[in-house]
Structure 1
Amino acid sequence: MGALDGILVADFSRVLAGPIATMTLGDLGADVVKVERPGAGDDTRAWGPPFAADGRSTYFLSVNRNKRGLRLDLGTADGQREALRLAQAADVLVENFAPGTMERFGLGYGQIDNPRLVYASVTGFGRQHHSPGYDFLVQAVGGLMSITGDPDGAPTKVGVALVDVLAGQQLTAGVLAALYARERNGRGQRVEVDLLSSLLAGLVNQASAHLNAGVVPQRMGNRHPSIAPYETLRASDGDFALAVGNDRQFAELSTVLGLAGDDRFATNAGRVAHRGALLEAIEAVTLRQPKAHWIEALTGAGVPCGPVNTVAEGIALAQRLGLAPVVEVDGARSVASPIRLSETPVTYRLPPP
C-alpha cells in the first residue's frame, strides 16, 4: 500500500510542471486520472524527436507514468459534465491552464461541489496575469539566464526546463500539506504555485546576495560566487570538477598537489578574493597529469571531485552505485523516483497512458 493509497487525483495538467507533480503523487500510490483532449492529447505527445522505438515522444514518457487516461473534449457540454463528475469525486485536482480557462469550463475553484477537494494550480506569473508561462521565458525574465554561462558569453538557459521542475516540486509539497491539513479539519483548499516565484525561490544564495548585500550576481561560468576552488579544472587531457567546501578539504588538496603554503589561501574568504591566483597555482600542477590521475588521488584524500559526465554516464554512475535509477513499465523506461520510504515505498504500476 502506497502512502497516498485511496487518493484520487484529477489531472487536467499538461506539458511538464503539472504532470511531474501528478506523476510524483502517482508514484506515492495515488490513483491519477489524466484528462486529455481528443485527437491530440498533451502537447508533449508531439514533441520530438527523439521518439521511442514505438513512436511515442520521449518527453511525454518522462513525466506521465502511474496514470490512467481519460479522453474528454472540455469544449463540449458532455465533456464538461464528465469532467465535473470526476472533479466532484476527486481528492485532488491539478491544472495548469491559463488563468480563467477552468472557470470557462465550469471547473474553477468554487464551481465544484466538493468541499474536501484540494484544488492545485500552476500559472506562469500568478492568477491575475494571463501571459503564457513558458520555462525558457521565465528563466530569462526571472534572472536565471543572467547568472548562467561564461562571463564573456551570452546569457544561457539551463539545459533542462528547470523552472517547470522546481514548480512541480513546489506544487507537490503544497498538495501534500493541504491533504495533511484536511486530515485535521476535513476541508480542502486552494494550492497555487507560479513559475516566476518558484524560480526566485530557487535562486537561494544568489537572491540572498542581492537582498542582503546589494550584490547583483553575474555569470561566472563554472565558478561559485562564495567558495573557491569550486569549479572545473584543466588536466592534461581535459576538464574535471572540483568542489572544495571547507578549509580541511583545501588542506588535503594542497597536500596532494604539493602546493606551497600561501597566506592568501588560508581561508575561504581569502581564496575567493584571490581566486585568479589560486586557479593559476592549482592548474600549474593539474595540467601535468590526466584527469583520471587527479580524480583518483583527490578522491582518495577525501577531496570531492569527479569527471564531467554525459547524461548516459551519469545514469551509468548511479547504476554502479546501486541506486537503481531506471524503471521500466510495459516497455516505457523512465528515471526512478528519488524518494525512498521505508514503510510505504513508491511503486511503478502503470505506463504513460
Structure 2
Amino acid sequence: MTQHSGSGPLDGIVVADFSRVLAGPYATMMLADLGATVIKVEAPRGDDTRYFTPPSREGVSTYYLSVNRNKYSIVLDLCDPEDLETAYQILDRADVFVENFKPGSLGKFGLAPKDVAARWPEMIHASITGFGMEGGAELPGYDLLVQALSGLMHVTGSADGPPQRAGVAIFDVITGMHATIGILGALQERHVSGRGQRIVLDLLSSAQSALVNQTTGNVACGNEPMRMGNEHPSLYPYGPFGASDRDIIICIGNDTQFTRFCEQLGMPEVAEDERYRTVDARNRNRASLKELIEERLGTKTAAEWFAAFRAVKIACAPIFTVGEGVDFAEGLGLHPVVKIKDGDDEVPLIKSPIRYSRSAINYRKAPPRLGADNQSVREWLGQTAPRVSAQVEA
C-alpha cells in the first residue's frame, strides 16, 4: 500500500472508510478520485453490495464496482479485540472517518462521537444515516423508503397512474455528494483552526433539499405538487412529443426559444397566437398546443428532428437507453469510460465527472476484492506513525 503524494488535490489525506452500500462509499470514492488514500474497512462478509447481482462482471457485482475504485480493502471484525485495535491504528493515522452505522451502535467499540472527538480531536468524522440520530434512528436507511417518505414518488409517474420510484438510488448518491462537500469544507476549516469536527448527514434531509422547487413550493406557499408524468409544472412545451417513429424530448425555457422552435417547425404564426405567446398562456393551453406540435413532428423521425433542432440551438433529445447514452457521450468527446488495470484484466468503469485544469483525477486502483489489501495495510501501519494528537490521546 502506498500513501499517495503529488497526483491530486487531496494527496496526503487519509480516509478511514467504515461505510457500506452506496452513500458513504460514493463519497469516499470521490475523495479517492481526488487523491486521498482511502482504506475500506469491511466486516468478514464484506460490503453488502458485493452480493447485489445481477448484473455482474467476472463474478463481481457491478453495483459494488460502481462506487469502490481507488480504495484499499482490509477485513476487520470489530468484535475481535485484535481487529478492533487495528481499526484504532488506522484511525490514528486518518484525517477523515466516514461511517454509516446505526445511531448509537459504535459506542460498544469505543467509537461513539464523543470517543472519536476525545481521542482524535483533529479528525473529520462524517456520520451518515437514513433518517437522523433521534426520531428516525430506528428506521433502516434504504433509498426507496426515502423516495417514498420524502414525496419524490408522489410527484413521479403518470398523472393517472401509481407513484413511481426513480430508476436509481438517487438520494443515496445525493447524500454521498453532500457528504463529500461537507468533508471538503471541514478539511478547509481544519486547515485554518487546526480542529476537527463531526458532520452529520441523513438521506431524508438530502432528499428534501434535492427536491428543490417541489419542497420549496410546499413550505413557501402551501403548494402540494402532484404527479404530471413527464410534463413540467411550470414550462410548456417541456417533455416528450411524438415524432414519426418515437418520442423526442423538447425543452423550451422562454418565449424567445418558443418563437425559434415554431419557426423551425414551419408554423411561425403559432408563436404570435395569444393562446401560446407567453409561458403562462402555453401552460393554460397545453392540450391544443400539443396537438399542433405533434402534427408537425409526425412528418419526420426523432433523429431527423434532433439534427434539425440542434442546428438552431433548440434544446431537444431522443430518449436513449443507458448504453446509447454512453455512446452519445463518447461521440461528444467526453470519453465517459475509464479502464483500470486489475492484474491481467482491465475493469471498465464510468469515470469521474470532475476535470481540473492543473490537478489530475488518478485511476490508480480497481475496486478491490474483499480483503485484498489486508497485508499491505498492516505493513503500512507498521511503517507510519500515528498523528501526534492521536498518540497523545491514546
TM-score, normalising length from structure 2? 0.87
Letter in 2 for 1:243: C
Q: Deviations over 1:230-282 (max 9, x none)?
A: 00000111101111111111101111112233111111111112222221221
Determine whether 1:108 maps to 2:119. no
Letter in 2 for 1:266: R
Aligned residue in 1 for 2:34: 28
Distance in 2 between residues matched to 1:215 and 1:64, nearest whole Å: 40
Q: CA deviation at 1:49?
A: 1.1
Letter in 1 for 2:48: D
Determine whether 1:41 maps to 2:46. yes
Structure 2 unaligned regions, length at least 5: 1-6, 369-394
**Count of matched residue pairs:** 351
Task: Indicate the structure (1 or 2) with the bigger Cα radius of gyration.
Answer: 2
Higher relative contact order (CA 8 A, sep 6+): 2
Distance in 2 between residues matched to 1:306 and 1:101, nearest whole Å: 48
Letter in 2 for 1:31: T
Q: CA deviation at 1:213?
A: 2.6
- The one of 315, 323, 336 equivalent to 1:312 is 323
Letter in 1 for 2:315: P
Letter in 2 for 1:295: F
Aligned residue in 2 for 1:198: 206
Letter in 2 for 1:258: G
Alignment of 1:228-243 (within 5 A): 228-243=236-251
Determine whether 1:65 maps to 2:73. no
What is the aligned-residue identity percentage? 48
Letter in 1 for 2:95: D
- The one of 73, 76, 79 equivalent to 1:75 is 79
Q: Deviations over 1:204-240 (max 9, x none)?
A: 0111221223211111111111111100000111101
Q: Deviations over 1:73-96 (max 9, x none)?
A: 012222221111211221000001
Distance in 2 between residues matched to 1:137 and 1:237, nearest whole Å: 37
Determine whether 1:3 maps to 2:15. no
Distance in 2 between residues matched to 1:210 and 1:264, nearest whole Å: 29
Determine whether 1:167 maps to 2:181. no
Alignment of 1:293-308 (within 5 A): 293-308=304-319
SS in 1 for 2:74: strand
- RMSD, aligned α-carbons: 1.0
Structure 1 unaligned regions, length at least 5: none
Bigger mean CA offset, 9-18 vs 320-329:
320-329
Aligned residue in 1 for 2:299: 288
Distance in 1 between residues matched to 2:219 and 2:286, nearest whole Å: 24
Letter in 2 for 1:13: S
Distance in 1 between residues matched to 2:85 and 2:114, nearest whole Å: 16
Letter in 2 for 1:86: I
Contact 1:84–1:107 under 8 Å retained in 2: no
SS in 1 for 2:275: helix
TM-score, normalising length from structure 1? 0.97
SS in 1 for 2:248: strand
Q: Deviations over 1:92-150 (max 9, x none)?
A: 00001111122222112221311110000110011122211100011001100001111
Determine whether 1:92 maps to 2:96. yes
Letter in 1 for 2:91: A
Contact 1:23–1:67 under 8 Å retained in 2: yes
Aligned residue in 1 for 2:387: none
Distance in 2 between residues matched to 1:291 and 1:70, nearest whole Å: 50
Tell me which stretches of 4 or more aligned residues in structure 1 moved more than 6 Å: none
Q: CA deviation at 1:295?
A: 1.4
Distance in 2 between residues matched to 1:297 and 1:318, nearest whole Å: 19
Aligned residue in 2 for 1:246: 254
- The one of 257, 279, 298 equivalent to 2:265 is 257
Distance in 1 between residues matched to 2:97 and 2:221, nearest whole Å: 41
- The one of 201, 214, 220 equivalent to 1:212 is 220
Distance in 2 between residues matched to 1:8 and 1:136, nearest whole Å: 32
